[in-house]
């Protein structure tokens, strides 16, 4: 493997919770697919848009859990901010999905 790829992988995976990171990558791929379906054809499909926003809310929630587990007590307020963003994303996704 080239030194550039090794350096990039070490930078991405260092001090991260690996199972959560892989789940986030899988959800990001699903998010890209949902946004493609949501914006296809010149008009917005709100069903896929809502599913994409729910997916992004779950991603923010998982990132909040990861930040909460690896941060010190002083910086826990940033993890709470991730949880607030996840609730907002979930609320907007449910609103687009059903209303």
Q: Which residues of the chain have pLDDT under 50?
A: none
Per-domain boundaries in the chain: 17-98
pLDDT score at 29: 94
Based on the number of CB atoms within 10 Å of its own CB, is 26 exposed (0-12), middle (13-18) or buried (19 or more)? exposed
pLDDT score at 14: 74
Tokens coding 61: 């929630």
Sign of CA dihedral 69, 73, 78, 79: positive
pLDDT score at 32: 93
């Amino acid at each position: 493997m080239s030194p550039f790829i090794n350096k990039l992988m070490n930078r991405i995976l260092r001090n991260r919770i690996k199972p959560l990171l892989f789940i986030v990558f899988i959800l990001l791929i699903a998010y890209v697919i949902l946004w493609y379906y949501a914006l296809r054809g010149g008009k917005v499909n709100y069903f896929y848009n809502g599913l994409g926003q729910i997916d992004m809310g779950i991603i923010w929630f998982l990132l909040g859990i990861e930040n909460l587990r690896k941060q010190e007590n002083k910086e826990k307020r940033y993890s709470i901010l991730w949880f607030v963003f996840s609730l907002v994303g979930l609320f907007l996704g449910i609103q687009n999905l059903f209303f």
